[in-house]
A and B are shown apart, each in its own frame.
Chain A
Amino acid sequence: MNLFTTTFLAAADPSQAEAGGPAASFGVSVSGIIAQVILFLIVYLILKKFAFGPIQGMLEQRSQTIADAQANAEKIRAELASTEKRIDQMLVDANTESQKMINEAKESADKVGEQRKQQAIVEAKSIVDKAAVAAEADRNEAMAKLKAEFGRLVVATTSKVTGKELTGADQERISKETASELTQ
């Protein structure tokens, strides 16, 4: 208290200092200090229990919630990126596979088309050949008929021109000669 006394001397009223000391002139008393200390400590306990503790707890809880949310968001973002990468890979694989299938189908179609084409060519050739054979046969038949008719006409004409009945041998010889002349 000597320290206070020294300090207070400068500010205190001299008459009061003489009466009860400078500390007394400022109303400094042990009971006054104790009363204020007790009230202050009660305020301290009240604020610590009802204000600082719960509010700081809430602030920490909120910080933790935000940190967790950020961590979750980061995790979700990483998973999303991974999923997107996987989907992209799947799309690439699917594209490759579909392109492969398209190529195979195209090749297969080309092959089948070629086969059909060759088959059609063969069939067309066969039809043409058959038609040619039939036409040749018809021509030969027509030619034979023509030769026979022409031979008969030549025999008839010869018989009329000569006025004599031709024998079978003559008729056959004339027909052969006529036929040979027609062939030439």
Chain B
Amino acid sequence: MLASFTNSLPSISLAAVDQKAVAPFEIAPYLTNSVVVSLAVLVFLLVVARVVSKNLQTVPTGAQNLAEMAIEKLYAFVEGIVGPKIAPKAFPLLATIFFFFLFANWFGLLPGVGTIGTGHTVDGSFHVTKPLLRPTAADLNAGLGIAFVFMIVWLWISVKEMGIKGFFAHMFAPKGTSTNPFMNSFLIAVFFGVGLLEVVSIAIRPVSLSLRIYGNVFAGENLLHAMGHLGYELGLHHVLSFIMNCLVPVPFYFLEILVGFLQAVVFTLLCAVYIQLSTTHDESH
């Protein structure tokens, strides 16, 4: 029963769908359904930013108050991790990452995202296989692209803060010395090996960052999709199925609101921690 139920659940494609396949968006190969969502988030953030900053008052009210509170809290959060010196340089990028992923994740919860598009009918039920819209973070290209941008900025901030020599010394130089020459040589060899591991760890960061958020958001999409079809999949009467399909996803929507926020926080937090790790001055340097 469980096996047949699992097999019959509608599946979501691992990849974002090229809009060429969804009429009438025959524009460009890079215009995938997740890019459309990114574009919508971009427009939304542009409108919000303009509304909030159009007429800034010394005594804030309404949207300005909310925006100021969010930015102030986020800045304090970033400053608490990277420190007051690096925070002004790192904050705009980290805050953009946070707000972009936050609203992209929440945008994915809107009705119609992932459920409107082309597809086919299976056992009398229509299954969308090429949705018109797909959450940005459920496209691995988004996570990877943003992680690459972050890594470039991370490299720039780290080298600017530590210097090229300091940057490499931070990874490879031994932390501390010994009076014994043999021990010193041993320490140099050990820390060089640790440095190589550090390089691998740094190289893997864009992948770990992007896969983490992709996995969570994609899993959330699948979860909501499955809950939204549960009534039909259990073979209940169509009225009962309809009611069930409307009610069962509700608690999961709240969960996904939380997950969307947490994933944006985690991505931002990890980026901030990576900056902090590479810009901390050791006593021995």
Do B207 and A3 touch across chains, with their CB atoms under 8 A apart? yes
| Given A26-B14, A55-B53, also A33-B203 (CB < 8 A) | no
- Closest CB-CB distance, B16 to chain A, in whole Å? 5
Query: Is B22 engaged at the interface, CB distance under 8 Å to the other chain?
Result: no
Query: Is B164 engaged at the interface, CB distance under 8 Å to the other chain?
Result: no
Query: Is B96 engaged at the interface, CB distance under 8 Å to the other chain?
Result: yes
Do B46 and A34 touch across chains, with their CB atoms under 8 A apart? no
Do B58 and A65 touch across chains, with their CB atoms under 8 A apart? yes
Across the interface, which residues of A come within 8 angstroms of B53, CB to CB?
50-51, 54-55
Across the interface, which residues of B come within 8 angstroms of A89, CB to CB?
none
| Residues B27-50 near A (CB distance < 8 A) | 29-32, 34-35, 38-39, 41-42, 45-46, 48-50
Across the interface, which residues of B come within 8 angstroms of A56, CB to CB?
71, 75
Do A36 and B45 touch across chains, with their CB atoms under 8 A apart? no
| Given A54-B53, A59-B68, also A43-B142 (CB < 8 A) | no
| Given A4-B207, A47-B45, A59-B71, also A52-B91 (CB < 8 A) | yes
One digit per residue, 1 when the CB lies within 8 angstroms of any chain B CB and 0 when it does not, for chain A 29-49 equals 101111111011111101110
In Å, the complex CA distance between A51 and B53 comes to: 6
- Closest CB-CB distance, B191 to chain A, in whole Å? 24
Query: Is A58 engaged at the interface, CB distance under 8 Å to the other chain?
Result: yes
| Given A36-B136, A39-B39, A54-B53, also A48-B30 (CB < 8 A) | no
Q: How many A-B residue pairs have CB under 8 A?
A: 139
In Å, the complex CA distance between A159 and B79 comes to: 152
For the complex, count residues of A whose C-beta is within 8 A of B.
Answer: 40
Q: Which residue of B lies closest to A25 (CB)?
A: B14
In Å, the complex CA distance between A11 and B14 comes to: 10
Across the interface, which residues of B come within 8 angstroms of A96, CB to CB?
none
Across the interface, which residues of B come within 8 angstroms of A40, CB to CB?
38, 96, 100, 142, 145-146, 149
Query: Is A99 engaged at the interface, CB distance under 8 Å to the other chain?
Result: no
- Closest CB-CB distance, B180 to chain A, in whole Å? 38
Do B92 and A33 touch across chains, with their CB atoms under 8 A apart? no
Among candidates A4, A35, A41, A55, residue contacting B68 with C-beta atoms closer than 8 Å: A55
Q: Which residue of B lies closest to A31 (CB)?
A: B30
Do A36 and B49 touch across chains, with their CB atoms under 8 A apart? no
| Given A27-B32, A28-B144, A36-B38, also A47-B96 (CB < 8 A) | yes
In Å, the complex CA distance between A116 and B15 comes to: 123
One digit per residue, 1 when the CB lies within 8 angstroms of any chain A CB and 0 when it does not, for chain B 65-106 equals 001100110010000000000000001110110011000000
Across the interface, which residues of A come within 8 angstroms of B146, CB to CB?
36-37, 40
6 tightest A-B CB contacts, nearest first: A27-B15, A32-B141, A50-B49, A36-B145, A35-B30, A37-B145
Q: List 7 A-B contacts (CB under 8 A).
A: A3-B207, A26-B140, A29-B141, A31-B30, A36-B34, A36-B38, A56-B71
A contacts, CB < 8 Å to B: 3-4, 7, 11-13, 16, 24-29, 31-37, 39-44, 46-48, 50-52, 54-56, 58-59, 61-62, 65
B contacts, CB < 8 Å to A: 13-16, 29-32, 34-35, 38-39, 41-42, 45-46, 48-50, 52-53, 56, 58, 60, 64, 67-68, 71-72, 75, 91-93, 95-96, 99-100, 136, 139-142, 144-146, 148-149, 203-204, 207, 211, 214
Q: A37-B145, A55-B53 are in contact. List 8 more A-B contacts (CB 8 A).
A: A4-B207, A28-B15, A33-B145, A46-B46, A58-B56, A59-B71, A61-B58, A65-B58
